[in-house]
Structure 1
């Protein structure tokens, strides 16, 4: 429900609105509210009950973030290789993912380099690592979490 703009209670409505303006996820904002509420309840009803509730809400907060962000978490991958063209062709053929070639220059060697940028799902990352090791074991690979992609052709291409 939260992933598609709905909510189950008042704190979720506030969390969805605040997450658009603040750099915190919906789950983190809900957790903050619940820590405040359950912390206050700890003074009234005792800390043992409040702690069990906090643990339950911590699990819920992590679950909410997985549901809102989805299981198809994307990874941005930069690959610096002397065999970039060959790698790009194989990535397209085996993973069905597009690549972007960038011109680069080694900071230490000052040699011209070619860099590949691609976006894959979390589940495709091991296959990409295997491809890179097969084609160019000396390649430098950097991976970063991608929280959102827009435009372009991120959807997986069908492999013929």
Structure 2
């Protein structure tokens, strides 16, 4: 429950930042943006449609057709995020008067940083902003010969063409600055606070350590038998992958159970497969 609460707390904070960036910077300053939100802001400019409600209406059919592809956990969290962000975007727009930035370049960079922080929190909590990512997966499922990256690129191009038609070509150029800044901010955060670490623990009290790691960190553990080359003593080799923010708790577990254990920690650049001991919705 603690992990579940923390995940939804991150989703909520990320959602608030996302809504603020859209309603407080992008809409009043008329900066372009890609994805489903680019369609929503364009329709808002042409017909006056509420951005939040439009986003919700676009995502509902995508969820209906793509639910099986996304999985239960991911769908629930993404659905929560889409619903809350749609409500907050329209709430901020209706109840607060945001003045457009005089320096559009500064606004684009600042917006990209906020969106980067927002996306990093959302992805860390196992969610997504929905939109064209879902439609891309649906198309890829129907036409496996088409690569997902190609589908997403085509979708982005079509959205940017719409944004250029509605707001002008300069808006698209600023949108690219927002996208670049957002990506770099996400990378910095995910390589820092949200990055994963692989830990090797050589110890004697392996049973207690494994039990505590599985209970307190909810991580799967690999255990191997080992022998010290200097003392010829029998040891146990424990391998576990954790989030960086769990590292201090892992150290506490090791110190409290087996202070003499030898522990090494190193970064992980990529992960394939499941490394959590249990999952929650």
More helix per residue: 2
Aligned: 1:115 with 2:240: no
Output the CA distance in 2 between the equivalents of 1:147 and 1:77. 14
Aligned: 1:154 with 2:262: no
More strand per residue: 1
Structure 2 match to 1:126: 248
The TM-score with structure 2 as length reference comes to 0.33
Relative to 1, partners in 2 of residues 1:125 and 1:68: Cα closer, same or farther, differing over 3 Å? closer
Structure 2 match to 1:29: none
Q: 1:66 aligns with which of 188, 208, 224?
A: 188
RMSD: 3.2
> Equivalent residue of 1:124, what SS?
helix
Aligned residue pair count:
106
Output the CA distance in 1 between the equivalents of 2:193 and 2:230. 39
Output the CA distance in 2 between the equivalents of 1:98 and 1:131. 15
Q: Which runs of 5+ in 1 are unaligned?
A: 8-58
Q: Which runs of 5+ in 2 are unaligned?
A: 1-33, 35-118, 120-132, 134-148, 154-180
Output the CA distance in 1 between the equivalents of 2:218 and 2:183. 34
Relative to 1, partners in 2 of residues 1:60 and 1:78: Cα closer, same or farther, differing over 3 Å? same
The TM-score with structure 1 as length reference comes to 0.56
Give, in angstroms, the shift of residue 66 of structure 1: 1.8
Structure 2 match to 1:76: 198
